[in-house]
Structure 1
Amino acid sequence: MHDQHRVLKQLQALLALPETTEEIAAWLELGVSLDFLEENARSDSVVLFLSAGHMYVHSVLAPTGAVSPPNFEDLTSWHADPWSSWSITYSANKTWISSPLESEASKSLRKGEQIVFMRGFEGVPSRSSYVEILQPLTHVFGLHFMPERNAWCRLDRLGDIEDVFRVVSLQEPGTKTPQGRVVLGSRKVLDQYAALTGATLVRLFDFTCILSERFSGWGSEDSDRRAHGENIQYRYGRMKGTASYGRGAQIIPTATTLEEVSRAFWHDDEDKQHATFIAYDRKHDQVREISCAPDALANYFTKSDKPWEVTPAFFKPEVLLKYKSDREKYKLDHRSIGCRGAWYLKTYDVNEEGQVHTYLGYLNKLPFEEQLHWKQYNEAPKGGISERALKTDLYGTWDESYDPLLSLKAKLRRLEEIHAPWWTLRGKDLPDRVHYPATASPDEWAEELLNLDQLLVEGFEEKVLRAKGIELGEQPQDQMRSLGLLQLCLVGAGFEEEHAGRIVAPLKSLHQLRSKAKGHAGGESAKVLRQSILQEHGTLREHYRALAQACDESLAIITNTLQPA
């Protein structure tokens, strides 16, 4: 992205009209514009199309054999443009589909591939002029057009959205007046595609510089053929002191080989860095710094003095907050973490001391940058791994111990599956948002209370419960909300009023806590509330677990009453 900004800044400077005599002379000689092409050919962001001011650029991937060596006399005869596309061609005896470059004047380009396509949907103003990118290229590299970025994008190795081909509307400096349009492309992707298809990038350009106040038309201008460096040649013409033009071609040699592309896709982990972690070496019964690199570890079946792949490393619970703060990018499950299309941590857990733990053999699957995130929270173990992890990860047995939050989610999932009319899942992502607090942070605790309340309490259907209460012979008051109506339904179903109140109490407690903890997180009343909870439960995590258990038990009774099997 930084390189894109630099290229766009260079273009804006190039498109500004010269002012001094020296600037005008240099502008008419085209040297600055050609220098830009030469430098941009080495950039990470390559200009593939440009139509703005005095500059026009269009790009083609030509068969390497057709431009090695290049016939610049042929190449400078080009007349290709991005409005060319596949079309039906017919004569009296034949009808066929012709390619965009089939009738190109330059023989070197006829069997090439056009990269940028300009299209327009006649009669639809919003689609009167738009850009498409060569489809084989976008499909091969998994690119998708994102309108909000006006770019064809993919996920990078860290799961962030990366602009690979981007369309930018240029404006006159200091104004919103449209000046033109430019399409930028990733040099790395273009090189890989060129290597895969045996092609070379050819950039066609037409620069026309005119001082409008002096120009009265083209006449007997001076003209000749010129070269700029090794890979640019053009036809140059000028009306002295008034106007000039340069029409030519630039060869941009492919900076990679097919073998290098193959190695990048098949052996992309060969040069991967790996961090070291303080870990409990179970094989040698000692805590020490150990590399998580695959060649530094061994499995159970290999006779070796190296630590096992299931050597546990321990972390402060804050390591998880990053994944809770960006739900769009990360998927945090109760035992695993995924980053959209980029990486996956197969397992983690939290031990009795509140430490997050996982194994070196899984940490080495993460990108190095992600390993460093974990490393900053790494610490010596304060206890062993959790009982659940011991059973499932090391003994290979099922863990059948009760987990209130998982049990509660399972009950709600069942209600959603059977389409219970009195409870509705308000958002598909809500179950994935609800987790135990990992840290002692009041803000995290308050956020998790909010998430649980949105999942559970906000799902109750007030209209249905009101109708159900009337059906059961009760008379709901107008001001009653969902939890009051739920309690009334239980009374109508035969529960004593006090018993019905105890059943609904955990849900009311959750709803009230959500308001107090989240809405007044920094207030004195919230502080007093937290102190009271800590005195009773020891930690905010244990309080949350106890509240989840109470809600789970209440939901079981409510479901059996309102939705009997």
Structure 2
Amino acid sequence: MNERSPLEFSDRLEYVANKLGAEPWITVYEFTKGEHEEVSYYCSLARPEVLDRCLANTSWDLLIGHGMPGFSFYGDGRREYHRFGDDDGIEPFVISRDFHGLKPSYLELSEEFRHFHNLYEDRKKGVFIALDDNGDDVEVVRVAPKKIQVRAKYIKEYLAARGMVMLLFFEFDRWSSKTLDELGIEKQNVDQQETNYRYIRWVNMLSGISDPARRTMARMTGKKIVEGSGNPLPSWIRDRDSREYEQFIIDVDEEGNNVYFTCDEEQLANHFGKNPEAPHFLTPVFFSKAVMAKYYNDPAKYRVEDSHLYCGGYWGLRLDNNHRDYVVVYLGDLGRLSQKEQLYWKSFNVVPDGNVSDVAFRRGILGEWAAADEPALAFKASYERFRDSWHNHFGWDLFKPLRTEDEHNWATLHVPASENQKEFDDQVMSLSKVLVERLNERELAKHITVEPNDKGITKFQKYLDGVEFPERQELITFLRNLNGLRSGPAHVRGGKDYQRAATHFNLEEKGLSSAFSDLLVQATALIDKLRSFMVPESEQ
């Protein structure tokens, strides 16, 4: 490329005509300086009826720092309030907040735009995010000190809803140390107007310039119109009516082939005679237990409870997680998930194997009360009842609440779905935290004689000896071996404590998943016995 091209902006001319405002991310603010070019972008919103006036010149219709609320005062004492400084049909999208050097200045994005898309600001990352229909993060705005970019889809939906357009202002400055003659070009001053943009481009020598690198200057400045999307409703409303539904395995045919059917509720039968030839809304669909790993691994976002899964307060799913071998969900309930989430569940879909658990059948079909019997769910229910009963009777907690940084151990406590050693170790760690680490040693010490080397389990053993709990030896042996299992990942799995515990819980013969399930059953039985022994029945 010869030296003439940069000052004639051949690259910028093509960009403004074909790409500016049509990219996935639209730059709405930028002020950067390079070695050979300075780039400036700014923007405003405009009512369609003022566009002819705006394209009548290349001046920016809103300057940085303008567009703030103000008043007009009249000679007769009247005053008029203007939301954006005047009523000329132009309003800011990016607001430059300045405090005259007394406080740091900063950029602010239109509040209405942020509220329209319910954007969350993550200041550490310098982004604004929206939640999609699945509750997943979507970056909408990227903010840097000298540049702001907005995802085009969200701008265009906002413009369509408001019946407005965006004016993208631009200014590019380039320079050369050579004269026009040396560059082989003439002085230029071009004013170009098209349907949706206008710019002026000029090249000239600068007189009286002390910087020899800028003897010749070129500038291209103007504006371009960005229109809203064709639909005035945002996608989060439109998607409700255009949701796609996945098909799941609901049976096998005579040849042993899988039979699939959609989870779209509108195509399913119900108790009121709808679609009588179709599968029922309450058709059970089976999934491997591994489907829950995603939710256990992100307790800050998801919450797994007895018979329910929640994504914060964004969505929930009724499910049967009391089934010993599978997770079971009714076909119609799957249709209430986003398609993205349906696809995730579909990847764990297996051939139906029996029916829902007895607990789910009694609750959902017979309308009866039924306690959870899946080992992890049953343990959690018994543990919480125990803590409440103990505190109400004695006025103190035998098991102290988990520290904030450890609360995920409770939220993610579950029977491992496979023979994965790490998952087993993590679950042992979690169970040990709630049963051993959180023993209230200070309160226990008030009721026993404490020796200098007594630790938590020993103090608890002395307490149980003092109250003559019949199963005290079984409970203490259980806790010591649980702590021994924890020592495996924490220290060396080949250590004596771990090996003794592994033998006690018969890990090799049972396998990790089955052994942990039995471990939870044993823990539940022991704390239930302790509760029955220590707390009067009337207070349980």
Q: TM (normalized to structure 2)? A: 0.82
Q: Deviations over 1:302-347 (max 9, x none)?
A: 2511000111111222222222222223222232222346543222
RMSD: 3.6
* 2:523 matches 1:551: yes
Aligned partner of residue 424 in structure 1, secondary structure:
coil
Q: AA paired with 1:462?
A: E
Aligned mate of 1:239, from 193, 200, 204: 204
Q: Is the 8 A contact 2:69 2:85 kept in 1?
A: no
* 2:461 matches 1:487: yes
Q: Is the 8 A contact 1:420 1:563 kept in 2?
A: no
* 2:262 matches 1:296: no
Aligned mate of 1:52, from 21, 24, 32: 32
Q: Matches of residues 43-82 of structure 1 in structure 2 within 5 Å?
A: 43-53=23-33, 54-67=38-51, 69=52, 71-74=54-57, 76-78=58-60, 80-82=62-64
Q: Is the 8 A contact 2:288 2:326 kept in 1?
A: yes
Q: AA paired with 1:59?
A: C
Q: AA paired with 1:246?
A: M
The offset of 1:348, in angstroms, is 2.8
Q: Which residue of 2 aligns with 1:201?
A: 166
Aligned mate of 1:115, from 70, 88, 93: 93
Q: Which residue of 2 aligns with 1:36?
A: 15
Question: Structure 1 residues 416, 351: closer, same or farther in 2, change over 3 A?
Answer: same
Q: Which residue of 1 aligns with 2:284?
A: 312
Q: Is the 8 A contact 1:313 1:359 kept in 2?
A: yes
Aligned mate of 2:428, from 449, 453, 456: 449
Q: Is the 8 A contact 2:386 2:531 kept in 1?
A: no
Q: AA paired with 1:292?
A: C
Aligned partner of residue 463 in structure 1, secondary structure:
helix
Aligned partner of residue 273 in structure 2, secondary structure:
coil
Q: Which residue of 1 aligns with 2:183?
A: none
Q: Which residue of 2 aligns with 1:394?
A: 365
The offset of 1:432, in angstroms, is 1.8
Q: Which residue of 2 aligns with 1:153?
A: 129
Q: Distance in 1 between matches of 2:96 and 2:272?
A: 59
Question: Structure 1 residues 417, 439: closer, same or farther in 2, change over 3 A?
Answer: farther
Question: Structure 1 residues 80, 481: closer, same or farther in 2, change over 3 A?
Answer: same
Q: Distance in 1 between matches of 2:175 and 2:484?
A: 73
Q: Distance in 2 between matches of 1:150 and 1:416?
A: 48
The offset of 1:137, in angstroms, is 1.0
Question: Structure 1 residues 287, 163: closer, same or farther in 2, change over 3 A?
Answer: closer
Q: Matches of residues 91-170 of structure 1 in structure 2 within 5 Å?
A: 93=77, 97-102=81-86, 110-120=88-98, 128-169=104-145
Moved more, 408-417 or 388-397: 408-417
Aligned partner of residue 241 in structure 2, secondary structure:
coil
Q: Distance in 2 between matches of 1:79 and 1:548?
A: 69
* 2:197 matches 1:226: no
Question: Structure 1 residues 361, 325: closer, same or farther in 2, change over 3 A?
Answer: same
The offset of 1:212, in angstroms, is 6.1
Aligned partner of residue 205 in structure 1, secondary structure:
strand
Q: Is the 8 A contact 2:249 2:350 kept in 1?
A: yes
The offset of 1:60, in angstroms, is 0.8
Q: Is the 8 A contact 2:387 2:398 kept in 1?
A: no
Question: Structure 1 residues 199, 432: closer, same or farther in 2, change over 3 A?
Answer: same
Aligned mate of 1:191, from 156, 175, 182: 156
Q: Which runs of 5+ in 1 are unaligned?
A: 1-19, 104-109, 170-180
Q: Deviations over 1:19-44 (max 9, x none)?
A: x6x2x422222332343344131112
The offset of 1:397, in angstroms, is 2.1
Question: Structure 1 residues 293, 210: closer, same or farther in 2, change over 3 A?
Answer: same
Question: Structure 1 residues 232, 349: closer, same or farther in 2, change over 3 A?
Answer: same
Q: Deviations over 1:420-479 (max 9, x none)?
A: 35532123544322223333433322222212222332222333333x13xxxx331222
Q: Matches of residues 421-460 of structure 1 in structure 2 within 5 Å?
A: 421-426=397-402, 427=404, 428-460=407-439
The offset of 1:49, in angstroms, is 0.8
Q: Is the 8 A contact 1:80 1:101 kept in 2?
A: no
Question: Structure 1 residues 133, 458: closer, same or farther in 2, change over 3 A?
Answer: same
Q: Distance in 1 between matches of 2:32 and 2:92?
A: 20
Question: Structure 1 residues 499, 522: closer, same or farther in 2, change over 3 A?
Answer: closer
Q: Distance in 2 between matches of 1:27 and 1:415?
A: 80
Aligned partner of residue 302 in structure 1, secondary structure:
coil
Q: Deviations over 1:55-107 (max 9, x none)?
A: 1111111012222x564124x2335233235345475846665444528xxxx
Q: Is the 8 A contact 2:428 2:486 kept in 1?
A: yes
Q: Matches of residues 460-499 of structure 1 in structure 2 within 5 Å?
A: 460-466=439-445, 468-469=446-447, 474-492=448-466, 494-495=467-468
Aligned partner of residue 19 in structure 2, secondary structure:
helix
The offset of 1:238, in angstroms, is 1.8
Aligned partner of residue 357 in structure 1, secondary structure:
strand
Q: Distance in 1 between matches of 2:415 and 2:471?
A: 28
* Total equivalences in the alignment: 505
Q: Which residue of 1 aligns with 2:210?
A: none
Q: TM (normalized to structure 1)? A: 0.78
Identity across aligned pairs (percent)? 21
Q: AA paired with 2:60?
A: W
Q: Is the 8 A contact 1:351 1:383 kept in 2?
A: no
Question: Structure 1 residues 524, 405: closer, same or farther in 2, change over 3 A?
Answer: same
Aligned partner of residue 456 in structure 1, secondary structure:
helix
Question: Structure 1 residues 327, 400: closer, same or farther in 2, change over 3 A?
Answer: closer
* 2:294 matches 1:322: yes
Q: Is the 8 A contact 1:204 1:249 kept in 2?
A: yes
Q: AA paired with 1:390?
A: F
